[in-house]
Chains A and B, each alone.
Chain A
Amino acid sequence: MLLIRSALVVLSGSTYNGKTVDIFIENGKVKRIGAKLKNTDNAPELTFPNLHIAPGFVDMHAYIGEPGFEQKETIASACKSAAKGGITQFCVMPNLNPVSGTKSQIEFLKHRAKGQVATLLPVGALTHNLEGKDLAEVYDIHQAGAVAFSDGYKALPNAGILERALLYTSAFDGLVMVHAEEKSMSKNGVMHEGIVSTKLGLPGIPAVAEEIAIARDLSVVEYTNGRLHFLDVSLKKTVELIKQAKKKKLNVSASCNAYNLILSHDAVVDYNSATKVNPPLREQKDIEGLIKGIEEGVIDTITSQHSPQDEECKKLEFDKADFGIIGFETLFPICNTVLNKAVGLEKIIDVLAVNPRKLLKLPAPSFEVGSTADFVLFNPSEKWTFTEKDIASKSKNTPFVGKTFTGKIYQTINE
């Protein structure tokens, strides 16, 4: 039992959108909603300054460490970290040890995540052992509860495997998610290729590596008519390619990572390995291109690409450090800081909460009586500075410590 007092609802299309209401929650469902509810049941009350409420965020792209790399992140620590970021459900990429490529691995993840503060959505391996050669048993893992199929950060090596994947999964309308990168162009690259990489003497990941892969994959989608989601879109030019494909009514969707909306390759300048990410930090024009893509609906959702790495993998020479930064806790603060003026809060909630549910075929969010209490409470105008204390993840690899954001999560409701 819980009574939330004076919360401004943000959910486009909802009858309560823009209204300040009280919400009474019992047994994980909305029992009553309306102005100035009477607390007849003596339920504990929740109230915060400038309280806003929205459906809990759904993050379609995250890595964890259990099983296999528990020193980086466990399922429990990942769930805590997600909840701290206002995320009530998150996709876990199959890049684990063992790989989430069998029914039993999917069941293990679901079982271990039971009763945690956030819901874990397992993504099954697309190819056997993520080797990019043969399909994994995708139908079986679909039956076991995998929400999508992907090789995570491992790019598919050729068009043939994508063709088979899209055709095969189309039988059950499965969602294939890819990190698009032509490895023969980018292979040893550790940052975006450009003037900064030239000055730093670091091998570059050229923009063209992403362009080629996305152009190629779009042709494969057109040929097979499967359902493809591009993770990690990071360039103005690839947003443009996806926009054209959507105009042609191809069955594609796309996401970008929050960090690509706020940092450019200039941030790498002192070889800080906390800026070593893939896709790499790009250029200002790409940041603008992504924001426009969000505005126009080309980019459907924004992900954290939460990638916990322990100190041993990051406190190293730049080229030896692993890729990735944690991102759950900073997902909404970045989105709200960068996008609030450009696209407005309602659109941010669409992108973080509504669209991913559609893509993953999860129940549509609602505040109506009887709907599931899966909400986030936040204050979109609070200015605050992100510190190490705000990190619930087991890993601390982030370039955002000390950064001031606008928009703070109070808590999630996910009973």
Chain B
Amino acid sequence: MSGLSQRHLIAIKDLEKSDIQLIFDTAKNFKEVLQRPIKKVPSLRDITIANLFFEDSTRTRISFELAEKRLSADTINFSASGSSVKKGETLLDTVNNILAMKVDMVVMRHSSSGAPQFLSKHIPAQIINAGDGTHEHPTQGLLDGYSVLEQFGSLKGLNYLIIGDIKHSRVAGSDIPLMLKMGAKVKVCGPPTLIPKYIEELGVSYEPNLKKALEWCDVANVLRIQLERMDTKFIPSLREYSLYYGVNRALLDSINKNITIMHPGPINRGVELDSDVADSKQSLILQQVENGVAIRMAVLYLLAGRV
């Protein structure tokens, strides 16, 4: 079988365009499997996967777990709260202890950028990054790309807008290289305090005005405003953010274009996105969640081919 160029999935940056295409093609097959009455396939039988969530997560963890179960893998779950991490054990020790119990693959989320790469240098298991600090969240990038692909048939030449806290967003960290690799144009929008200073060197443009940015785009990915990840206040208040960068019905009606709205979840309803937009036909949000399982099945399946 022709596999991926990488042994781990740590960052979209590391993937070739052909890798992304292969993951999309595989996900399409799995999505079809997920429509069947019997949704389980034996592809990963006898493979043990550890889901190591050093940072809280609900949807990503459930999505991975479901993908693993659909593929018949054995899974173990670990979350940092109530674990030995709190007792001062290092990341490397924690993971090595789990691997001593013969685990083949590790799905990990961690608050430190680069933690999966650090582990990959010190442990033998294959690693799938489920979000590291403010670096990348590659399966989110892939499922975003796949959802847009389903809607538009191609990513090439598409105008893709990301709105919000780009500086602290690992979703943007994966969406940007994925969209650029697949030939889309990327713009970011948000208050300048939440935009990385060197963003344009990535090949991305910046538009401070939300309305102008929306007029430009075909798809707008609205990011969650995460005050909990900011130790400094980068914006005066959520109220002011919502007034100037919140996406609402009136704003969308004022532009002459029917754009597609995405959100990686969970939504702060009424802050970055209003309910009448999130729940409308323009929104791809639930498709993103559905595609998340297929994408994660595809990634696990393709990487396991090399266990």
Contact = CB atoms under 8 A, between A and B. Distances in A.
A195 B118 contact: no
B19 to A, nearest CB: 18
A315 B92 contact: yes
A200 B197 contact: no
A271 interface: yes
A85 B226 CA distance: 49
Interface stretch (A12-20, A147-155, A216-224, A317-325): A317-325
Interface string B158-192: 00000000000010010000000000000000000
Nearest to B119: A317
A198 interface: yes
A199 B118 contact: no
B136 interface: yes
15 contacts: A188-B231, A194-B198, A197-B198, A198-B196, A198-B202, A200-B113, A200-B114, A201-B132, A202-B135, A271-B118, A273-B118, A317-B91, A317-B114, A317-B115, A319-B133
A197 B199 CA distance: 11
A199 B90 CA distance: 26
Nearest to A271: B114
A201 B135 contact: yes
A215 interface: no
B128 to A, nearest CB: 17
Interface residues of B, number: 27
A201 B202 contact: no
A253 B110 CA distance: 44
The 7 closest A-B CB pairs, nearest first, are: A201-B135, A271-B114, A317-B112, A201-B113, A201-B134, A195-B201, A198-B198
Looking at chain A's contact residues, the main secondary structure is loop
B257 interface: no
A41 interface: no
Contacts of B202: 195, 198-199
Nearest to B232: A187
A319 B197 CA distance: 20
A317 B110 contact: yes
Given A201-B133, A201-B170, A201-B173, A318 B118 contact: yes
Given A201-B132, A202-B113, A319-B113, 20 more contacts: A188-B231, A194-B198, A195-B198, A195-B201, A195-B202, A198-B196, A198-B201, A200-B113, A201-B133, A201-B135, A202-B134, A206-B197, A270-B121, A271-B117, A315-B92, A316-B118, A317-B91, A317-B118, A318-B114, A320-B112
A133 to B, nearest CB: 23
A273 B201 CA distance: 25
Given A198-B202, A320-B112, A193 B197 contact: yes
A85 to B, nearest CB: 28
B17 interface: no
